[in-house]
């Protein structure tokens, strides 16, 4: 509980800091850390829980669809994957609903019976944007994990990774640090129904924290 309180205090500090930064940018600027216009690139670097580091190179397929390649590193394993997102609804420049789904592959690990496994987290986000590009959102997701043998009906280790399904709720904020750089942070609570996930959760503490920056290549 102490770690969660510290995380919430850090987010509160960041929220206060963002209010100061907002006044530095004109109203017409609309920065974005999730989507880029078609034909443009977006680079993201982040840290948090359970990942020590995450990197993504994303491409704007269109103004409403962005797809990226992911690499992540935890204390125990590294993962590789893709993340696709699409805008479902857009109201002017101040509100949108978008869908995002990462699929991550993890090589063999001693901690999970020596089997490679996959994790996916389809999520929906409701996001508001101020004139100065300060963004805040909330949303929900389903998290599913399964071993490669169980997915492809191949021979598996009986003591290997059993997989599982969880749900999560999250909230986040982002704001511009420059004309091309956005700061972002997001905090998620991982749940089994309406209670925090237990020891079956593959990520350790039932919390997912992301703190990072995104750079739009124009």
> What average pLDDT does this structure show over 56-75?
94
Q: So what's the pLDDT on residue 29?
A: 39
Q: Tell me how long the chain is.
A: 218
d(CA 47, CA 36): 21
Q: 87-103, pLDDT tens digit by residue?
A: 999 988 899 999 999 99
Using alpha carbons, select from 57, 75, 76 the residue that is nearest to residue 67: 57
In contact, 149 and 155? CB cutoff 8 Å: yes
Which domains does the chain possess?
2-30+74-213 (2.40.160)
For residues 149 and 82, give the distance between their C-alpha atoms in angstroms, rounded to a whole number. Answer: 20
Residue among 102, 100, 67, 51 nearest 81 (CA)? 102
Express each pLDDT in 176-188 by its tens digit: 999 889 999 999 9
pLDDT tens column, 38-48: 999 999 999 99
DSSP letters, 66-130, are EEEEEEEE-SS-EEEEEEEEEEEEEETTTEEEEEEEEEEEE---GGGTT--EEEE--EEEEEEE-
DSSP 55-81: EEEEEESSSSEEEEEEEEE-SS-EEEE
């Amino acid at each position: 509980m102490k770690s969660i309180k510290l995380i919430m205090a850090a987010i509160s500090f960041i929220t206060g800091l963002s209010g100061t930064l907002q006044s530095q940018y004109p109203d017409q600027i609309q920065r974005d850390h999730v989507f880029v216009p078609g034909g443009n690139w977006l680079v993201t670097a982040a840290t948090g829980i359970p990942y020590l580091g995450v990197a993504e190179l994303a491409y704007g397929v269109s103004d409403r669809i962005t797809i990226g390649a992911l690499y992540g590193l935890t204390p125990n394993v590294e993962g590789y994957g893709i993340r696709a997102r699409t805008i479902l609804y857009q109201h002017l420049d101040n509100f949108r609903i978008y869908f995002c789904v990462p699929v991550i592959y993890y090589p063999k690990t001693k901690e999970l019976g020596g089997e490679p496994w996959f994790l996916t987290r389809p999520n929906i986000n409701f996001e508001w944007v101020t004139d100065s590009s300060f963004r805040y959102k909330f949303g929900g997701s389903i998290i599913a994990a399964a071993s490669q043998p169980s997915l492809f009906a191949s021979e598996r280790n009986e003591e290997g990774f059993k997989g599982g399904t969880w749900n999560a709720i999250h909230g986040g904020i982002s704001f511009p640090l420059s004309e091309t750089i956005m700061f972002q942070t997001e905090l998620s609570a991982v749940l089994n129904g309406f209670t925090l996930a237990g020891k079956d959760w593959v990520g350790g503490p039932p919390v997912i924290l992301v703190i990072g920056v995104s750079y739009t290549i124009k």
